[in-house]
Amino acid sequence: MITKNRALRRQLRIRGELSKNQGIPRLTVFRSHAHIYAQIIDDRHGITLVAASSATVKGEKLTKTEVAAAVGNAIGKLAKAKKIDRIRFDRGPYRYHGRVKQLAESARTAGLKF
C-alpha cells in the first residue's frame, strides 16, 4: 500500500509542475506489464493529438526496452508530421528509469524538445 501512495503523490507532483505551461502539449506515458503507450494531449481542448503504442509498432524478438525506444521514435515522427516540436513530458507515477527513460530519449532523438 505504501508504494501505491508514493506513486500517487509522485503523479500529483508531476502534474502540478506540468500545469504551469498550459500552451504546450503534454506527452503522457502509460506502462503496463506487456505494453507501453504514449500520447500527446492538448490540455486546452482536452483532445489527443497523436498516439502510439507497442501494439502498433511491429518488431521481431525485441526486448521491452527496445520496444519502448521504437514507440518513442514513432511518437516523435507522428508529432513532427503534425508540426508539434515542443512538448511537456508527463511520466505519471513512473520513475524516469528503464522503459520510460528509453521512450523519452528516443522521442528526443526523433526531434521533440522537452
In this structure, CATH architecture of domain 2-109: 2-Layer Sandwich (3.30)
Are residues 110 and 103 in contact, defined by beta-carbon separation less than 8 angstroms? Answer: no
| Domain ranges within the chain, ordered by starting residue | 2-109
pLDDT of residue 60: 77
What's the pTM? 0.84
User: Amino acid identity of 18?
Assistant: L
Are residues 100 and 94 in contact, defined by beta-carbon separation less than 8 angstroms? Answer: yes
| 3-class DSSP state of 12 | helix
Give pLDDT tens digits for 24-58: 899 999 999 999 999 999 988 889 999 999 988 87
Helix or strand holding residue 78 (H, E): helix 64-81
**Cross-strand partners of 51:** 39
pLDDT of residue 2: 54
Residue labelled with grid coordinates 527513460: 101
Are residues 15 and 86 in contact, defined by beta-carbon separation less than 8 angstroms? Answer: no
